[in-house]
Amino acid sequence: MAKSSAKQQRKPVGQSYWALVWWKFKKNKLAIVGGLLLALMYFSFVGIPEFIAPYELERRSEYTEARPQTIRFIDQEGKFHLRPFVYGLERKVDVAARRRSYVEDPNRIYEIHFFVQGDPYKLFGLIPTDIHLYGTWSEDPAASVFIMGTDSLGRDYFSRIMYGGRLSLMIGLIGQFLTLILGSVLGAISGYYGGTVDVVIQRVTEFLAAFPNIPLFMALAAAIPAFWSPILVYFMLTVILAFVQWGGLARQVRGLILSLREREYVLAAKSFGAEDSRLMFRHLLPGTMSHVIVIATLAIPGMILAETALSWLGLGLRAPLTSWGVLLQESMTVYAIRFAPWLLWTIPFLLLVILAYNMLGDGLRDALDPYGAR
Amino acid sequence: MSDNNVLVEIQDLRIEFDVRAGIVKAVDGVSFDIKRGQTLGVIGESGCGKSITARAILQMVPKPGKITGGQVLYHRQARGATQTDVINISKLDPDGQLIREIRGGEIGMIFQEPMSSLTPVYTAGTHIDEAVSLHRLTPLRKVGDQLAETIQAHQKLSKQEARQIAIEMLRRVGIPKPEQRVDSYPHQLSGGQRQRVMIAIALSCQPAMLIADEPTTALDVSIEAQILDIMRELQESVNMAIMFITHNLGVIAEMASEIVVMYMGKQVERAATVDLFYEPKHPYTRALLQSIPKVGRKTGVRLASIEGMVPDPFHLPTGCVFHPRCPSFMPGKCDKIAPTWKQLIGNHWVSCLLYQEV
């Protein structure tokens, strides 16, 4: 009795699993940086690209394939301006090379202002406004600021990257979400039932894994009818990506379920009258989740790259939908790389997202095993 | 009256495991009854078929195993009713609706390993709520208040009510500060507390019978005593039958009113606890009882043990399976003739050629 009264006074001292995970995650600075970077990028690319981009997606200017304007503080006379500015662009036609080029005209100075009025849009699709993060504040209708140049139709490339990011980043998340559902449900069924069901599901995953990806994508993407609306095409593309990629996750989940289903708590739950679906999805799947989250996080970049590659090949998204892959299509030619290298500005953004995901994923992998040695 | 008192009847149950090396007869012709409100003990060495028999009662024989003969009859009595209908459990679909109602709802089970019997991602309270919601029964709050009981029986419980029940159940199994413990995860509980939670889950649906498969083997003796006390108290308050599986003879003497002794899938002796301990008939039972260490015995004397090894299940000895290890081995008889199940005096049954005319 003395023992039990001593127990009564003791507070529960055990740290919860997630507290340990958070504690370990916090120690990994790289993972924190990756996580914050991703949060920032998702917020700006998916949440408020209309605000950050100075122009609308389809807003054309007379400057086609214009070089990026340099942001300056010091003008030609060496005078320092507190407010950054850009020079106006002057078109020159090089007859010998048969091409247009632009040079900066130091006589036209356009100051860059923050929170300026511009093209109207709806913030978060709800609040109508026309305030943009930055822009030129000038009466001159030719005033413009293209910090990353323009494309062949004279559209501000930075604005297009901002809008394109929305589709590219979302396709990674949505596609991975579908993969997660498909992979864990089929993996759980495969591992839990075993036997014929297992054999069938495993052969299907092997078939998908053995099939060369690009031809499979091509075949599936070609099956999307051309008359479908862009949104439907976008949705189908995520489904296709998820369909091709669920196999690996399903195998991992199956392996985990195979070992977990022999645990006594499954037997105990069964002896209390739990049915198969409850055992699979309430008692077994949660046990695999820490592992699955890591795999999923590390697989999202693959998803984004797959979309980019497909769209680049012209098999994925098509204009007027704009994703990073669609943007990169323009830089496919040697001509573009030689004379309009600013069209490669998409790539640093892509790299940054993928690096951030890998840093976060690595951190999560270490953190979700808080009892591990590392 | 005696017939009405029977809850589960096992008749000549045979379970075989078809494995690559051959067929193992895990349970070979076992029959016994479990009566309402009483405790039946099952003892025997590891691997003698105790747990498999228990699992067969819930139609949960593990995979390669199959019931090849005999049957398990469950005398189901609706709550508050006096009529019983007999359900042949061994003929039920193992994933069917009816067996799932019986599992947990009418026959609960607790396991040997309290450490791993709770799903690690759910709190103690969630486990109890799950069991309760699966069977949608409000556990007894006031003993004897049968009318209110049946009214509540088919109500869906609110979250608040379910939590209240979970706390109540934890209090009944003697967990200190149940209001806090209800939100504890399994890894925050000690072994004894986990086993109490298991008992709370099993009892939350007021089963007519509890199968306890070595419930205290993994616990230390002081916790063991507490758990046994709790089980006995609860048994008295709700008139529940217990099938108590163990290889601890001391525990079973304390708990059971009747004992079945098993060896290599066969039952070798069955008797009331007192008779079995004072007048064991089968040489195997005698050997088991002699191997209990006793306080006050002369030091320096080696503890008695049973000679030889448990035979290979693929090559069982001919005749009586115990004959190679039996101190009363009769050459020419025991190795040729298989003994039959025979009633000696009263309710004392034994399967041994010593008590048969051959």
Question: Would you place residue B150 in the very low, low, confident or very high pLDDT band (cuts 50, 70, 90)?
Answer: very low
Whether A247 shows a pLDDT value over 70: the answer reads yes
Containing B25, the helix (H) or strand (E) segment is strand B22-35
Residue-level pLDDT at B242: 92
Partner residue facing B116 (CB), from A3, A264, A286:
A264
Partner residue facing B103 (CB), from A7, A8, A273:
A273
Residue-level pLDDT at B304: 77
The residue behind tokens 């095993």 is A369
Residue-level pLDDT at B157: 66
Give the start-end residues of each E strand in chain A: 72-74, 80-94, 99-123, 127-136
Whether B323 shows a pLDDT value over 80: the answer reads yes
Q: Which residues of A touch B184 (CB under 8 A)?
A: 12, 14
Residue-level pLDDT at A303: 85
- % pLDDT > 70, chain A: 93
**Angle, alpha carbons A298-A301-A303 (nearest 5°):** 110
Cα(B117)–Cα(B205) distance, integer angstroms? 18
Quick one: closest CA in A to B54, which residue?
A271
pLDDT digits (tens, 9 = 90+) for B198-250: 888 888 877 889 999 888 887 788 888 888 888 888 888 888 899 999 888 88
Q: Using the 8-state DSSP alphabet, how is residue B66 labeled? A: E
Cα(B90)–Cα(B70) distance, integer angstroms? 8
Residue B5 token pair: 């008192």
CB contact under 8 A, B176 and A7: yes
Partner residue facing B105 (CB), from A273, A275, A282:
A273
Q: What is the mean pLDDT of chain A?
A: 82
Residue-level pLDDT at A11: 47
Whether B144 shows a pLDDT value over 60: the answer reads no
Looking at domain A38-43+161-367, what is its CATH homologous superfamily?
Answer: MetI-like (1.10.3720.10)
A102 forms beta bridges with A91
Q: Which residues of A touch B104 (CB under 8 A)?
A: 271-274
In this structure, are strands A99-123 and B258-263 parallel, antiparallel, or unpaired? unpaired
Cα(A307)–Cα(A164) distance, integer angstroms? 12
Inter-helix orientation angle A29-41/A17-27, to 10°: 90
Partner residue facing B104 (CB), from A3, A263, A271:
A271
Residue range A169-187: mean pLDDT, rounded: 89
| Widest distance between CA atoms in chain B | 70
pLDDT digits (tens, 9 = 90+) for A12-37: 445 666 777 788 888 888 888 999 99
- The C-alpha of B354 sits at a distance from chain A's nearest C-alpha, in angstroms, of 40
Interface with B, mutate which of A8, A192, A258, A271 (most B CBs under 10 A): A271
Whether A200 shows a pLDDT value over 90: the answer reads yes
Residues of A with CB under 8 A from a CB of B: 3-5, 7-8, 12, 14, 16-17, 263-265, 267-276, 282-283, 286-287
The torsion angles phi and psi of A326, rounded to 5 degrees, stand at -60, -40
Inter-residue contact A57 to A159 (CB < 8 Å): yes
CB contact under 8 A, B180 and A12: yes
Going by C-alpha positions, the residue among B149, B322, B347 that lies closest to residue B257 is B347
Give the start-end residues of each E strand in chain B: 6-19, 22-35, 39-43, 65-77, 84-88, 107-110, 209-213, 241-246, 258-263, 266-272, 342-343, 349-350
Partner residue facing B121 (CB), from A4, A270, A286:
A286
Q: Using the 8-state DSSP alphabet, how is residue A153 labeled? A: T
pLDDT digits (tens, 9 = 90+) for A101-117: 788 887 777 888 888 88
Q: Which residues of B touch A283 (CB under 8 A)?
A: 119
- % pLDDT > 90, chain B: 7
CB contact under 8 A, A272 and B130: yes
Q: Using the 8-state DSSP alphabet, how is residue B128 labeled? A: H
Answering whether pTM is above 0.90, one says: no
Domain ranges of chain A: 38-43+161-367, 63-152
Residue-level pLDDT at B147: 39
Counted residue by residue, chain B has a size of: 358
CB contact under 8 A, B104 and A17: no
